[in-house]
Amino acid sequence: MSHVSSHSPHGQSPLRTVQVLGGGSAGSSAHVRSLASGLVARGVRVTVCAPTDADRAYGFSGVGAHHVPVPRASDPASVSALRAACADADLVHAHGLHAALRSALALSGRRVPLVVTWHTRADAEGARAHLLRLLERRVARAASVVLGTSSDLVDRARSRGARDARLAAVALPAPRPPLEPADPERFRNKARAELGSTDRPLLMAVGSLDRQRGYDTLLDAARAWCRLDPVPLLVIAGEGPLRPVLQRRIEEEGLPVRLLGRRDDITDLLAAADIALLPSSWESRSVLAQEALHARVPLVATAVGGIPELVGDAAELVPYGDAKALADTVVRLLADPVRREELRERGTRQAATWPTEDETVAQVLSVYDELTQPRPLG
């Protein structure tokens, strides 16, 4: 089937774009796959530069993009691999700070537009914080356009000297259909039984076990839930450096918490939960928040970063690091089925306002057009 597209008019070759992923968080990798798929369908040529394991996990080649294996950030070979991959590109789009820095280096001396999407905010302390600021400044100034996935990232890019920073539409890629089209209630009961929560409320948090996720506050809050009857079970899906510390606390304090490790059935587990919890110190467009609202699961989240603008009035928001506010909000919600139902309805309405994958691709493509159209002289 031949594509009739504004991007390959008669006598003109199609737009050639290179998407660059660094380590690639789950959110940015899924976004690049969705973008690659939509751009290819519109007649744009797409090369994805990413580590080999990212292509295995996200299947960029499977949606018609050309995958070029580029080693992770710390490998000196990555800049030369990128330079070769970008040799005939009309435009390069980097996702994340490290991918953007390497793209800027690979493009040095060439007048190729560089679009950078900031999906998340890096945090550092002391001397590293100074280095991070320099890196952000270098990237913000090298980019023709910086797309931030939340308003505070757009502000941050501007404060670092970006000439043009805009809020980016980033859609949550459509969930894969469940393996068995079973009746959802049976599915839910099966998941709850497996987790050991058949006759008690199930609370769920998802995300890597590291400092900015706020799990210490979550465990403090779990102490307060011990006095409820029945005692809710909190499950945390994710893996990371804090696992031994969290596990020790759970055992020493006898907390009703299970660390599930890395799971690939998050959507099913989430659908089985009574309440989803997001205690992070900062988030942009949190995937968990979006999945919870889509799945009609009431959400309690911290009022940080892009969360308030993402969820609107469809979640209970608490201050970061406030274990009492978190605990009290959960206790109140568990006792109030009417409020939970109201949050489910609001969640469905709020999710309907988010950009679709198609709208996301269209927005990005209009940025590409702006940067690659021949400009009239004068």
What does the pLDDT average to over 297-306? 96
Q: Which pLDDT score is estimated for 5?
A: 44
Q: pLDDT averaged over the chain?
A: 90
User: Which is more confident, 185 or 343?
Assistant: 343
Calculate the CA dihedral of residues 341, 345, 350, 355 and round it to 10 degrees.
120
> What single-letter amino acid sits at 199?
D
pLDDT of residue 304: 95
Phi–psi pair at 301, nearest 5 degrees: -135, 160
Domains of the chain: 16-171+356-371 (3.40.50.2000), 184-351 (3.40.50.2000)
Helix (H) or strand (E) holding 46: strand 45-50
pLDDT in tens, 121-156: 877 788 899 999 999 999 999 999 999 999 999 999
Residue-wise pLDDT for 335-376, tens only, equals: 999 999 999 999 999 999 999 999 999 999 999 999 998 755
pLDDT at 179 > cutoff 90: no
Query: What does each C-alpha distance from 306 to 151, 167, 287, 301 come to in angstroms?
Result: 7, 11, 12, 11
215 compared with 178, residue with greater pLDDT: 215
**Tens digit of each residue's pLDDT (9 = 90 or more) over 204-219:** 999 999 988 999 999 9
Please tell me the predicted confidence (pLDDT) of residue 27.
Answer: 76
- Structure confidence at residue 184 (pLDDT): 75
Rounded Cα distance, 18 and 75, in Å: 20
Q: Give pTM, 2 decimals.
A: 0.84
320: which 2 tokens?
A: 């970061």
